[in-house]
Amino acid sequence: MSNGNCVKGEKVNLCPFEGPFWDVGLRWYNDHEIAALTSDDPSPLTEAQFREMIESDLNNPQSEVFGLLDADGNPIGVGMLRNIDPIHRGCDLHITIGEKTCWNRGFGREAIGLMTEYAFKSAGMHRVISAPFRSNTRMVRCLEKVGFKKEGVLRDALWVVDRFIDVAVMAMINPEEKVEA
């Protein structure tokens, strides 16, 4: 997040991606289990590759990068809003809860909720999309609990290691702007 503001929740705080996030972030992105759930290239990243990947979003005016902290101020993950489109008022949401001790404890759900609220209220978005691997059932469940709806499946969308995988397409419309047909 380039403006330095923090968004506080009960369990999770969104903050600028800086300082300790660089070291722990590289560890998270190189974790085999996390990569299997989130990356179409499970090859380990060097520090320079990781820095280049994150900086490309930090320096992109159509992206917001959030460091995710627990209530005690410990880094637990990273979240991104990408492809922020001020004309069509949509963006893509990506999140990684890197600290496995925070899995299945509501941290992901709250972080997704805070990021979605930020997208709607602060960034003026009408629609937020997320496209997790279909096999990442934890992410699909978190998105559904926040209010995302399944819009479809991109069958055999990505070649990962030795096979094609499906990608779920999920989205949430700003509830304050939702118009019933």
pLDDT in tens, 129-171: 999 999 999 999 999 999 999 999 999 999 988 899 999 999 9
Token pair recorded at residue 18: 């800086």
Q: What is the mean pLDDT of residues 27-52?
A: 90
Lowest mean pLDDT among 23-37, 91-105, 140-154: 23-37
CATH superfamily of 7-173: Gcn5-related N-acetyltransferase (GNAT) (3.40.630.30)
Token pair recorded at residue 48: 């320079």
**pLDDT value of position 36:** 86
Q: What are phi and psi of 104, to 5 degrees?
A: 60, 30
Task: Tell me which residue of 96, 123, 140, 136 sits closest to 5, measured CA to CA.
Answer: 123
Contact 99, 3 (CB under 8 A): no
pTM of the model: 0.92
Domain ranges of the chain: 7-173
Strands (E), 24-176: 64-70, 75-85, 90-97, 127-130, 149-160, 163-173
Task: Tell me which residue of 111, 132, 103 sits closest to 40, measured CA to CA.
Answer: 132
Strands (E), 17-162: 64-70, 75-85, 90-97, 127-130, 149-160
Cα within 13 Å of Cα(97), Cβ side:
21
